[in-house]
Every structure is written in structure tokens, then in C-alpha cells.
Amino acid sequence: IDAALADGPLKGRHVLVTSGPTHEPIDPVRYIANRSSGAQGTAIAAALRDLGAQVTFVTGPATVPPPAGVQVVRVETAREMLAAVEAALPADAAVMTAAVADWRVANQNGQKMKKDGSGKAPALEFAENPDILASVSKGPTRPRLVIGFAAETEQVVDHATAKRVRKGCDWIVANDVSPATGIMGGTENAVVLISAAGAEAWPRMAKDQVAKKLADRIALALQNS
């Protein structure tokens, strides 16, 4: 089976996939996080592997396990993820599915924070994290095909189209993560693929199916360029 898989349309291609949330420490025992399960990124890495790609999978602390047959690089924070991504380049394509924390805690405490008995809560200060997708898209070792994801809760296509231009990536896979959709942490996804050519809405389907369809499109794009 392995030999057959290795002969797929992505044989000889290196694809980088980021996945999962990042955790941003407050102190040694507490962190800021988000609800990403890593399911979509994991499914995409597996689908790319099944087409024969050599996959580097840079993952934050996801709830689903990473796929077999890929090179797994585990990170915790956004800054660690950026360093791991840079170390994994060059690649033919990059698929940035990670739900990177937009902010880290600027006034991180070296020791566990303690209540001081006054009843006053501590104030957290935040600093913006580096934008990994923008940095790869605009960097010196840019993969030929750079794909971002956009989690939106409103005006999905407009926001994601603007994001594609702002970040300099080729495609954005946009999805509506408003709580009513049940997509965040669920098994299905309804996405819109946004490229320079416009927006293409895909029907709601299992995350595995989204992953297969996207992997096929990636293989096609790399063949034609």
C-alpha cells in the first residue's frame, strides 16, 4: 500500500501543513487558547500524504492525534510555530490551517500567580503574535502555492477575500465558525475557496472530504505550474 500511495500525483513534493491551536502561557500553569481541535489540518495532512506528498506537520496542542506517515513537529506557542515553519522550508506548498492565537500574554509570570487576599484580579496585557501565513507568503523562501484558512463569524467571503490580499497568499479556505454552525470542533465543514479568480462555495461535507478535495486541487495546481 505504501508504495502505491507514494506514486500519487504529489510524489516528490514537500508540503508543509500547520494545524491545531496555539497555547500562550500566562504563568507556568495557565494559558490562553482557542477551541481548534486540529481535525481539519490533520485530515488535510493525511489527504496530502495519500497523494504521495512528503508532509511536514507543524502542530500546536491539538485534541486529535497527528496522522501517521508525516513528519510531526510539535509546538506550543505562535512564536514556536513560526520558528518551526521557517525551519521546515523550502516546500512546494504550504497549508496553514492552524488557529494561531492572535495575542500572547505580554506580562507573563515566571512563577504561578497567587491571590494576594485583596480580592483584586490581576490584569493581563497582550502583545500581537507574528502572522505566520503572511510571513511565509511574503518571505524569501515562498512556496509556490500558499494556502490560508479564514475562520469568520460574519461576512465570510468579504472578510476572507480581504485577508487573502492582505496576507499575500494564493488561496484562502474560508469557513463560518459562528456557534450556530457547530463547525468549530465538529466533524463537518462548509468552506468557500477564495483565489484570485473569485470565490467558490463547496457544499457542507465531512472534514475528511474537504481535505480530499483540497488535496486534489493542490495536486492539480502544482502540476499546472
Residue of 34, 107, 175, 224 marked catalytic: 34
133 is in an annotated binding site: yes
Query: Which residue of 37, 42, 54, 129 would you call a contact of ligand CTP, by CB under 6 A?
Result: 129
The nearer residue to ligand CTP, 53 or 96, going by C-beta atoms, is 96
Closer by beta carbon to ligand CTP, 25 or else 113: 25
Nearer to ligand CTP, 43 or 132 (CB): 132
Q: Is 120 annotated among the ligand-binding residues?
A: no
Stretch that binds ligand CTP, among 112-120, 129-137, 193-201, 215-223 (CB under 6 A): 129-137
Residue 123: CB atoms within 10 A of its CB come to 6
78 makes contact, choosing from ligand CTP, Ca ion, none, with CB < 5 to 8 Å by partner type, with ligand CTP
If binding is defined by CB under 5 A, does position 102 make contact with Ca ion?
Answer: yes
Q: Is 131 annotated as a binding residue?
A: yes
Asked if 124 contacts 26 with a C-beta cutoff of 8 angstroms, the reply is yes
Are the C-beta atoms of residues 13 and 92 closer than 8 Å to each other? yes
Alpha carbon distance 215, 42 (integer Å): 12
66 is in an annotated binding site: no
The C-alpha atoms of residue 92 and residue 94 are separated, in whole angstroms, by 7
Cell numbers 502555492: residue: 145
Written as nine digits, the cell of 40 is 481539519
129 annotated active-site:
no
Q: Which residue has the cell 479556505?
A: 173
Q: In sequence order, what DSSP letters do the residues of 37-89 get, joined into one string?
A: -SHHHHHHHHHHHHTT-EEEEEE-S-SSPPPTTSEEEE--SHHHHHHHHHHH-
| Interface with ligand CTP in residues 84-123 (CB under 6 A) | 96, 98, 100, 102
Residues contributing to the annotated binding site for CTP:
102, 112, 130-133, 149, 163, 167
Binding site for ligand CTP (CB under 6 A): 18, 78, 96, 98, 100, 102, 129, 131-133, 148-151, 163
